[in-house]
């Protein structure tokens, strides 16, 4: 079945850039998402990219999509301590329904 993979942990220094990577298996996915989960809270959408795009930039966030390699990345520029959270990559795998597959999440720790 469909699978989304991410590394589980990432540590960066405050002010550096963070890059979180994700690989997915369903080549028919129309939307790919990055969600952020802060401690004790639900998930919030951070950004998304449509499958016919290669890149999307939104302030400090840059999303890169390589459809050939089924690879998605999220770059956070000038990482701050408030960016410490778990980041989930997700794909919408069913164009007629509401079937989403999430990765295991990458825990980002920002060191002062």
Partner 1 sequence: EAQVTQNPRYLITVTGKKLTVTCSQNMNHEYMSWYRQDPGLGLRQIYYSMNVEVTDKGDVPEGYKVSRKEKRNFPLILESPSPNQTSLYFCASSLAGGTYEQYFGPGTRLTVT
Q: Which residues bind partner 1 (CB under 8 A)?
A: 1, 4, 8, 31, 33, 41-45, 48, 88, 90, 92, 97-105
Instruction: Measure the N-to-C terminal CA separation of the chain; round to a whole number of Å.
Output: 40
Q: Which is nearer to partner 1, 72 or 105 (CB)?
A: 105
Q: Which is nearer to partner 1, 44 or 80 (CB)?
A: 44
Burial class (CB in 10 A: 0-12, 13-18, 19+), 94: middle
Minimum distance, C-beta of residue 88 to partner 1, in the bound complex (Å)? 6
Q: How far is CA 11 from the centre of its chain?
A: 16
Q: Which is nearer to partner 1, 41 or 52 (CB)?
A: 41
């Amino acid at each position: 079945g469909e699978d989304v993979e991410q590394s589980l942990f990432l540590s960066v220094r405050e002010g550096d850039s963070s890059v979180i990577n994700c690989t997915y298996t369903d080549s028919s996915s129309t939307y790919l998402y990055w969600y952020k989960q802060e401690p004790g809270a639900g998930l919030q959408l951070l950004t998304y990219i449509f499958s016919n795009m290669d890149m999307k930039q939104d302030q400090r966030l840059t999303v890169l999509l390589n459809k050939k390699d089924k690879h998605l990345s999220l770059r956070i520029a000038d990482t701050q301590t408030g960016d410490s959270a778990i980041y989930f990559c997700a794909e919408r795998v069913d164009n007629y329904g509401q079937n989403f597959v999430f990765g295991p999440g990458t825990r980002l720790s920002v060191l002062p």
